């Protein structure tokens, strides 16, 4: 019997990494390092939320919709946040914007979930082990285009392939990546739970198959791949994956979703049978989820 193929995708924020403390507190820390004082963290948080709301209305999708781009979008947010907090007609410190942009594009502002690196490396090694014929690992997330740089800063080997950059598929080889591609809402133009972002991941899968093995895969071949999505939110991740015809795994470290079957309680059985028995599978432990999802055979 032919071994199955697996498309395994992850949410980014809250699943693979999270901020090092409150974002507003990090903004305040950087601002004081740059010489801006005389404001409270509470006041800054209020200004930051208002600036983000205003910029979203003026330039949707982190500025992609209006051609502004994510870097300029966040620069505008920073300007709008801090301008009311300094003296009239005083210019912002020149290093404030670049320091904040860099911080939230790297491990300086975010921390990886515990054991992320060894877990992802183990998933990469499973590509050549018995159980699945082929495994493709992707990130599907509601975000701007900073996610690949954040994951790279943790030491992961991240492919340059992302939705909307199809031309790069020709350069995609058998090089072993920890993450094979990204589908970010910034590139796709819609956010989870819209099924179009999951469809975009299937487009990326098709490109990878055709590049690695030659020839465009048929619809039947793509449909035969088992597609699993791992995320930490029911409304966006579970609902979105289910509506797209994927199998969802909910990361529920707080144990709130008791109505969903626990992955850790599932007896060893075929990957397909796990989801036949349980429409949604829940994991209490992030790292165990990554290993279990990939090793049920």
Query: What pLDDT, in 10s, does the model give residues 183-192?
Result: 999 999 999 9
Query: Would you say 294 and 261 are in contact if contact means Cβ atoms under 8 Å apart?
Result: no
pLDDT, tens only, 93-132: 999 999 999 999 999 999 998 888 888 877 767 655 446 7
**How many CB atoms sit inside 10 A of residue 45's CB?**
17
User: Minimal CA–CA distance to 265: which of 281, 249, 276?
Assistant: 281
Residue 30 belongs to a domain: yes
Q: Is residue 180 in some structural domain?
A: yes
Q: pLDDT by residue (tens digit) across 227-247?
A: 999 999 999 999 999 999 999
Q: Yes or no: say if 268 and 296 are a contact pair by the CB < 8 Å rule.
A: yes
Per the structure, the count of domains in the chain is 2
pLDDT, residue 179, reads 93
Statement to judge: residues 96 and 145 lie in one domain: no
Domain boundary at 79, 108, 137, which?
108
Q: Is the pTM of this model over 0.75?
A: yes
Range of the domain at 88: 21-108
**Of 83, 108, 133, which marks where a domain is finished?**
108
Own/partner pairs, 81-85, CB within 8 angstroms, 24+ separation:
81/27, 81/44, 81/47, 81/48, 81/51, 82/31, 82/36, 82/47, 84/47, 85/31, 85/36, 85/38, 85/39, 85/43, 85/44, 85/47
166 in the same domain as 25: no
């Amino acid at each position: 019997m032919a071994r199955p193929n697996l498309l395994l995708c992850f949410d980014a924020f809250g699943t693979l990494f999270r901020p090092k403390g409150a974002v507003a507190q990090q903004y305040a820390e950087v601002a004081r390092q740059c010489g801006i004082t005389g404001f409270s963290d509470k006041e800054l948080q209020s200004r930051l939320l208002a600036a983000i709301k205003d910029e979203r209305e003026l330039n949707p999708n982190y500025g992609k919709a209006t051609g502004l781009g994510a870097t300029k979008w966040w620069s505008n947010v920073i300007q709008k946040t801090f301008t009311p907090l300094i003296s009239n007609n005083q210019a912002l410190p020149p290093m404030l914007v670049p320091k904040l942009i860099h911080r939230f594009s790297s491990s300086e502002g975010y921390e990886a979930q515990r054991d992320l690196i060894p877990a992802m490396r183990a998933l990469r090694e499973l590509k050549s082990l018995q159980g699945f014929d082929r495994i493709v690992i992707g990130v599907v997330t509601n975000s701007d285009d900073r996610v690949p740089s954040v994951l790279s800063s943790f030491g992961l080997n991240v492919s340059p392939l992302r939705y909307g950059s199809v031309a790069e598929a020709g350069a995609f080889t058998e090089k072993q990546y920890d993450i094979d591609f990204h589908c970010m809402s910034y590139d796709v133009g819609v956010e989870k739970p819209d099924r179009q972002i999951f469809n975009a991941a299937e487009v990326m899968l098709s490109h990878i198959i055709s590049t690695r093995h030659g020839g465009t895969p048929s619809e039947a071949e793509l449909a035969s791949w088992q597609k699993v999505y791992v995320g930490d939110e029911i409304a966006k991740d579970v609902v979105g994956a289910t509506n797209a015809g994927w199998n969802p795994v909910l990361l529920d470290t707080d144990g709130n979703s008791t109505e969903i079957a626990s992955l850790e309680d599932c007896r060893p059985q075929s990957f397909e049978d796990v989801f036949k028995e349980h429409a949604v599978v829940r994991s209490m432990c992030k790292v165990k989820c990554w290993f279990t999802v990939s090793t049920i055979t």
